[in-house]
Structure 1
Amino acid sequence: MYNNIYNAIQILSKGDVADLKRRSLASIADAPAYFRILAYSKSPDSKQTQRIIFLLLHTKLADGEDGLSVAQALINAGVKEGQIIQLVRSGDNGIDYLKRQLVRCKDVSQVSLGKLAQYWGENARRQLLKEFILANTEKFETESN
């Protein structure tokens, strides 16, 4: 599903992509380009699809399937634990805050980002915090050895 949406975004004209990037998550479903993506990717018109498109537009994804998890990409970009905690506490509005953090990231896995966007909710935010802390702890342990 995520790959189909990503490929559909790649087919769009630069003007359509620019229009989608300027929109907020709340208004993305009102763009003609949004419906083009749905038609090209054969995806359902849902909040999940809107979140996936919203985050895919603003994130530098890895080529192929060997990208970093969202948590690892955030660590590599220098995002602090306090910022992730703030994101987790911000509820459904946290998707906008997540987008601002993902703009700093590179080589993010399509699947990791897609799953996070698709299942965005309290559980997904908690899982992101867990993965972030565990990956950051592993990084600290390897640096101290």
Structure 2
Amino acid sequence: MYQDVYKAIQVLPKGDLADLKRCNLGAIANSPAYFRVLAHAKVADNKQTQRILYLLLHSKVETSGEGVSVALALIQAGVKERQVIQLTRSGDNSIDYLKRQLVRCKGINLDSLGKLAQFWGDNARRQLLKEFIFANTEKLEAN
């Protein structure tokens, strides 16, 4: 599903892309460009699609499969553990906090970001924190 949304974003005209980037998560569903993405990607109009589109618009993803997981991308971008903990505890605003951190990241694996956005909730936030801490610990042990 997220691969289809990503492909649809790539063929959007610049005006529609700019319109979507100006929208917050709540307003994205009322944008005409959102419906163009739905029509091109042939996906359902639901919260999962809105979250996927919202995060993909503001992230630099790697489609070839060589990208890194979201947790590793956050570490490479210099995101601190306390910021990820804040993200996991922020409830309804957590997707906005995640987007702010993802703007700093490069080379995120499309599948990793897509699955995180699709299944965003308490469990996904907990899993992100777990992966972040494990990856950070492995990095410290390697040094």
TM-score range, shorter chain: over 0.9
Contact 1:92–1:121 at 8 Å: present in 2 too? Answer: no
Deviation at 1:92, TM superposition (A): 2.5
**What is the aligned partner in structure 1 of residue 62 from structure 2?**
62
- Which digits, 9 at most, give the CA deviation of each residue in 1:74-118, with x for residues without a partner? 000000000000000001210000000000000001110011100
Q: Is the 8 A contact 1:59 1:102 kept in 2?
A: yes
Deviations 1:1-46 (A, max 9, x none): 1111000001100010000000000000000010000000001000
> 1:21-40, aligned counterparts within 5 Å?
21-40=21-40
Aligned pairs (5 A) from 1:85-124: 85-124=85-124
The verdict on how the C-alpha distance between 1:63 and 1:114 changes in structure 2, with shifts beyond 3 A counting, is: closer
User: What is the CA RMSD across the aligned residues, in angstroms?
Assistant: 0.6
Report the identity percentage.
Answer: 68
Unaligned runs of 5+ in 2: none
Amino acid at match of 1:28: I
Residue 17 (structure 1) aligns with: 17
Find the aligned partners of 1:63 and 1:34 in 2 and give their Cα distance: 21
The Cα shift of 1:127 comes to 0.1
Superposition TM-score, scaled by structure 2 size: 0.99
Does residue 47 of the first structure (1) align with residue 51 of the second (2)?
Answer: no
**8 Å CA contact retained: 2:3, 2:110:** yes
Shift of 1:63: 3.8
Q: 2-side partners of 1:63 and 1:122: how far apart?
A: 27
Long gaps (5+) in structure 1: none
Instruction: Tell me how many residue pairs correspond in the alignment.
Output: 143
What SS does the corresponding residue of 1:43 show, helix, strand or coil? Answer: coil
Provide the C-alpha distance between the structure 2 equivalents of 1:11 and 1:62, rounded to a whole number of angstroms: 17
Q: Which amino acid aligns with 2:132?
A: F
State the alpha-carbon separation in 2 of the partners of residues 63 and 31 from structure 1. Answer: 26
3-state SS in 1 of match to 2:62: coil
Normalising by structure 1, we get a TM-score of: 0.97
